[in-house]
Amino acid sequence: MGGDYRWSDTLTLRYYHAALENIYTQDFVGAIHSSPIGPGKLKTDIRVFDSRENGRAEAGKVENLNVGAMFSYQVAAHTFGLGYMHQTGDTAMAYIAGGEPAVLSDGAMSADFVNPKEQTWVARYDFNFAAVGIPGLTGMLRYMRGTHIDLPNLGGDDLTESSKDIELAYVIQSGFAKNLALRIRHTAYRNDQSSGSTFRSHNETRINIDYSLKIW
């Protein structure tokens, strides 16, 4: 439970609380701020997750604080982003298997960059092709690198991982298929964890079909 509160036209405050009985409890605090700077607009997105075990802690110890900040500058069709995410505590960030945590690495295909002690830098570039006469077409490039990963069972306490992502998406603008989106995504993921890791280095390509239906 929780919600977003629009404090002003430029600032939104966020808070959510979640509990998985006898597993873990998590609190999220965030803020989104935008302001004009020069010819463009600067967006600041701050996210903090505090996770800890709940009740009988049937999944084991949970102790993680995830703090992240993303700064994105949009000018015309270009958006340049730079972010940083830091894990403290003795465990990785907790989230339900099969889901995607809403951290700064949200949308990454191969890893979530939320390992114990991990420190992650994010660099991102987005382009809206409407500026060159192709409305509905967008592109994204992103590089993420995580360091200081503490996983003794998988190779040590100063491990690294990285991901190079590229995405091209098109949303149909009119006709019977209006709002149907087609996305092609590719990632090159690398890490130096031992062979016992589930997430070993690999390349991956996905094609997504998305459709947004307006109900009311």
Collapsing DSSP to helix, strand or coil, 202 comes out as strand
pLDDT value, residue 196: 57
pLDDT value, residue 215: 84
Q: Where are the domains of the chain?
A: 2-211
pLDDT value, residue 195: 58
pLDDT value, residue 214: 78
Question: pTM surpassing 0.85?
Answer: yes
pLDDT value, residue 200: 72
From residue 28, alpha-carbon distances to 61, 71, 135 in Å are: 19, 19, 35
Collapsing DSSP to helix, strand or coil, 144 comes out as strand
pLDDT value, residue 67: 98
Give dist(CA 193, CA 159) in Å, integer. 7
pLDDT value, residue 156: 77
pLDDT value, residue 109: 83
* pLDDT by residue, tens only, the chain of 216 residues: 999 999 999 999 999 999 999 999 999 999 999 999 999 999 999 999 999 999 999 999 999 999 999 999 999 999 999 999 999 999 999 999 888 888 988 878 888 999 999 999 999 999 999 999 999 999 999 999 999 999 887 777 889 999 999 999 999 999 888 889 999 999 999 998 765 555 578 899 999 999 888 787
pLDDT value, residue 153: 78
Render pLDDT for 115-141 as a digit per residue (tens, 0 to 9): 999 999 999 999 999 999 999 999 999
Strand 156-171's sheet: what is its strand order?
2-6, 11-20, 24-37, 40-53, 63-75, 78-88, 119-128, 137-151, 156-171, 180-191, 202-211
Render pLDDT for 57-72 as a digit per residue (tens, 0 to 9): 999 999 999 999 999 9
Which CATH architecture group holds 2-211? Beta Barrel (2.40)
Give just the sign of the alpha carbon dihedral 133, 134, 135, 137: negative
